[in-house]
Copies of this chain bind each other. A is one copy, B any other.
Amino acid sequence: MSKSHAGKRVLVTMGDLCGIGPEIVAMALGHPQAGMAAQLCVVGDAAVMRRAMAWAGVQRPLLRLSSLDELENLPPHSVALWQPEGLPQGLLDCAIGQIAAKAGAAAAHCVEAAVAAIQAGAADALVTAPIHKEALHAAGIGYPGHTEMLQALAALDGAPAPVRMMLANNELRTVLVTIHCSLRKAIELINVDSVLETLRIAQAAMLKFGIAAPRIAVAGLNPHAGEGGLFGDEEILHIAPAIALARAEGIAASGPFAPDTVFMRARNAAGHPGEFDVVVAMTHDHGLIPVKYLGVEQGVNVTLGLPFVRTSPDHGTAFDLAGSGRADASSLRAALNMACELLP
């Protein structure tokens, strides 16, 4: 909390322009929280962001940079924008609240450009506004989401970075073994290696968060964590052996626990001290249902295992709210805060 981020640069991509991304970015950067010392810069299309600032009622000027180095001398109370070369033309023609291939292509292009800038040393961290997976798909982009795209962009010598999605709010953190695939496919992806790698990544992340001896709970895959093999054997074949190997490495992992109660046990709230610092979950929804249950306003998605800091809000494009100026930027603000917190 006390760390200084002055001079650190955080890039914020606008997301799918047919959703609420540009608006919440306009809100968060147009009315930044007091004490936010990092330099913030939108990566997006100038016309789209001007429209979004109007919808969001943001009066500050939008300053289009020709280089990220201009962030050093930005006038106060302005919103900085970097529009990468090669964005599709005519983006304002995309219908708000609809899937558009052009919007998907633009969203992906902003992420790619932002990662390239970070890799070139021109910025330090990435915060992404929501994209729409079907729009990406319509644009011929084969990634189901940000996490997979970032994993590929951060590949070293062709090997994808071993990344995992973490979701966190004020009372619960969860790291997911599998994410954006069918539940059938997720079950196939659970093995000793994938669980052990998740435990190592979760351990490293908790240390980064300043937790000296992280208590890591592992949720099972099956009801009652398999009930001793009666309801599935993934706990016996894959999850328990991975926990044993992690413990041999000095990681304080325990489980596998019944999925339906482990999140309740980890919940850290007033009068309810959590038993664990983080829960490793086997599937997207086992982990995300409890993080989102009390509201998505404070939830933050963190990509662990990348060579740079990346966070995002834990909600989607909310097509039904886009253009209304009524979207809630709380989760994006929380994502900005967490990105600053994790800055090296």
Contact = CB atoms under 8 A, between A and B. Distances in A.
Contacts of A184: 187, 232
A259 B223 CA distance: 16
A95 B60 CA distance: 72
27 contacts: A133-B224, A134-B228, A134-B230, A179-B223, A180-B224, A180-B231, A182-B223, A182-B232, A183-B183, A183-B187, A183-B221, A184-B232, A185-B231, A224-B316, A259-B288, A260-B292, A261-B296, A261-B315, A263-B289, A263-B293, A264-B292, A264-B294, A264-B295, A267-B293, A272-B295, A285-B286, A289-B289
Nearest to A284: B223
Contacts of A316: 224
Given A184-B187, A292-B260, A285 B232 contact: no
Interface residues of A, number: 46
A230 B294 contact: no
Q: Report the copy number of this chain in the oligomer.
A: 2
Contacts of A296: 261, 264
Given A181-B223, A264-B293, 13 more contacts: A134-B227, A134-B228, A180-B223, A182-B226, A183-B222, A184-B187, A259-B285, A260-B284, A263-B289, A263-B293, A264-B292, A264-B294, A286-B286
A177 B206 CA distance: 37
A231 B286 CA distance: 16
Interface string A260-301: 110110010000100000000001111011101111100000
A137 interface: yes
Consensus secondary structure, chain A interface: helix
A241 interface: no
Contacts of A182: 222-223, 226, 231-234
Contacts of A325: none
A314 to B, nearest CB: 9
Contacts of A183: 183, 187, 221-223, 232, 234
A255 interface: no
